[in-house]
A and B are shown apart, each in its own frame.
Chain A
Amino acid sequence: MITQVKSPILEIHDLTVSYDQSPVLWNVDLSLPSGKLIGILGPNGAGKSTLIKAIMGLVDPSGGYVKLFDKTLEEVRSRISYVPQRESVDWNFPASVLDVVMMGTYGKLGLFKRPGKKEKELSMESLEKVGMHGFANRQISELSGGQQQRVFIARSLAQNADLYLMDEPFAGVDMATETAIFELLQEMTAAGKTVIVVHHDIYSAVNYFDWFIMLNLHLVASGPKETVMTEDLLRKTYGGKLNLLTKVSDLIRQKEFNPLKN
């Protein structure tokens, strides 16, 4: 049920990640094709966000490695964009919508250089794509949840990357926004970009994505929709955690160090 692809855009090799003591992701081994809209599915606490954070180098794996465009993360950073969960920042921060979107251009600017006209135009374009150009000078603390989400996506678009990783972009947004975001993601993949999205709702997921990664502490499936959207695999994904796996995790947690670390 794990479909490996030739010349993948993203290759994850035997990735194991632990927080403090307890392993939250076991032996994930997969490869993904480019130009697809890919959904990461799984119940709460299945390790979906952790997988994305590990790909982006935000958590250190206790085993395994990740390759993007057949290179290490450092070499291709500018080609990858990340949309964190909306709740991960304090929206009381004193910044305008345009300020936040411009942050997407900082990576390519480098130290000491200030964003200029070009960056501003790019940011306005990105805002237009998410339908927020009328809000450019609004302060971010005045936005609704769905608007905040769209600002985050615009920031990511301003990076002009080839691979996009988005953590729960549909969480807490209204139906209209969800549809708008989905259409935007489709346009992006049609233009050859690859978009990987953490998603919590299986029912809408079936219609949204053409490739699925199913997680439940370990990799249950990875492959095109036709092959993995089966009742059996969904049961394995959502039908409770593996008993033995939780027992081993408990066992490891009781140790004063992590035996999975090298």
Chain B
Amino acid sequence: MEDFLYFFTFQDPSIVFVVIGIILLGVGSAYVGTYSFLDKKALLGDAISHAILPGICLGFMLAGEKNPLFIVSGAFISGALATFLSSWLNKNTRLSEDAIIASILSIFFGFGIVLLTIIQKSGNPEMAGLNQFIFGNAIAIQESDLYIYGGLAVFIILCLTIFQKEFSLLVFNPDYGRAIGFPMGMIRVIFNILMILSVVIGIQAIGVVLMAALLITPGAAARFWTDRLGVLVILAGVFSAVSGVLGTYISFVIPQMPTGPWVVVFLSILALISFLFAPKKGVLSRYISRRIYLKKTHRDHLLKLLYKGIEADKSGLPIEEIYEAFPFQKKQSEQSIKNLAKDNFITQNQSFIELSISGKSEAKRIVRLHRLWELYLNEYMNIAPDHVHDTAEKLEHILTPEMEELLESRLNFPKLDPHQENIPRDHDEL
């Protein structure tokens, strides 16, 4: 608790730097990552982030210490080389994109390991700092790092915001962009540069191995909440910043713990919450809306049953007969009857159920849709009268008033369905 207060009240200026740093680079990476996620190039980011390891090591070897400028430049150069190589291989060999990305990723990383072990054996005391780049250690961000990493992050964010139109075009429809005269090749190059930069700054916090998560997961999670690009990138940025700060807090409390894995875990938790609980697209809400729909279909079928009773000159039906009509669904039937009564669609008189006036009108509407659709299937789709019932049984629940009107006019306000049954209109007497 004490740690918690100490950390989140930001009394310590070095914590302030760390938090500002992690938020900036988290937002920057998530921002770029969202575009590459939409571009379906998410794994290229993974390749780039593994591929910058040799650059970091070379930068370190040249500078002889953990100099951020050397390391950032080295990382950028090897990231750019990896990106260039993968697009070159894509154009000039018959290897699939998947094999190319995996090859580049592992070759660069392997070479990075060679350099890393050479540095290790040279006995340079600064070596410990280098290990942080593999799994990340946000706590190590210092004021001098912040200016470089934070500055780059701000640059990325600004660039993406100013050229939002161009980058959306790149992701959505590059051929169209080319056709209307945008230099799409150039835009692709700039985007790749931004992507490499975001990876370069992200590794400080999360490390090369797990950097892919910072690029992919925020965008994938945010996609569940919105269809609008503007909201999407902001949300992805928020997810990423929150996870970054929480991950940093963990490494603050447990000093030998790297930040990266925890950031990934928090990001994944946010993503899981989004997949399950996001309104509309979430797994749970899809399940619920299906349940609600099934309930509605049962209610509709019950109304139809009562209506058919009236057609057979029964003013209503005993409740037992209703239960029998839907075998093994007694619970649902009970629930539907309760709901219908609440909506004043039916009246219940000592287990004898009758349609009310509004109930009759609703029942007529459903029967009408059912029979209109049957007739449409029969007349326009050549489906035999004895085959139309099942589909109509499913569609009667979703046809809108506008579709009803269209059906009526297309079929010329028919009187009878393919089974010679009356198609009821609202003003018909019952």
Contacts and interface: CB of A to CB of B under 8 A. Distances in A.
* A/B contact in complex, CB under 8 angstroms: yes
B395 A257 contact: no
Contacts of A252: 398
A178 interface: no
A166 interface: no
A14 B96 CA distance: 41
Contact of A14 (B293, B387, B406, B407): B387
A260 B94 contact: no
Interface stretch (A53-61, A184-192, A240-248): A240-248
Nearest to B395: A248
A27 B387 contact: yes
Interface string A31-68: 00000000000000000000000000000000100000
Interface string B388-414: 101100110111100100110010000
Contact of B403 (A220, A248, A256): A248
Of A218, A219, A256, most B-chain CB atoms within 10 Å? A256
A134 interface: no
B290 interface: yes
Q: Classify the interface of chain B: helix, strand, loop or mixed.
A: helix
A29 B387 contact: yes
B298 to A, nearest CB: 13
B94 A92 contact: yes
Nearest to B403: A247
B394 A244 contact: no
B381 A27 contact: yes
Contacts of B285: 256
B376 A256 contact: no
Contacts of B399: 248, 251
A257 B382 contact: no
A259 B293 contact: yes
A143 to B, nearest CB: 15
B265 to A, nearest CB: 29
A16 interface: yes
Contacts of A219: 381-383
A255 B398 contact: yes
A218 B280 CA distance: 30
B295 to A, nearest CB: 13
Nearest to B95: A92
Interface in B10-49: none
Contacts of B398: 248, 251-252, 255, 259
Contacts of B390: 14, 63
Contacts of A256: 280-281, 285-286, 289-290
A29 to B, nearest CB: 5
B406 A244 contact: yes
B384 interface: yes
A244 B290 contact: no
Nearest to B281: A256
Contacts of B400: 251
A2 interface: yes
A2 B382 contact: yes
Nearest to B397: A259
Interface of B: 94, 96, 280-281, 285-286, 289-290, 293, 376-377, 380-384, 387-388, 390-391, 394-395, 397-400, 403, 406-407, 410
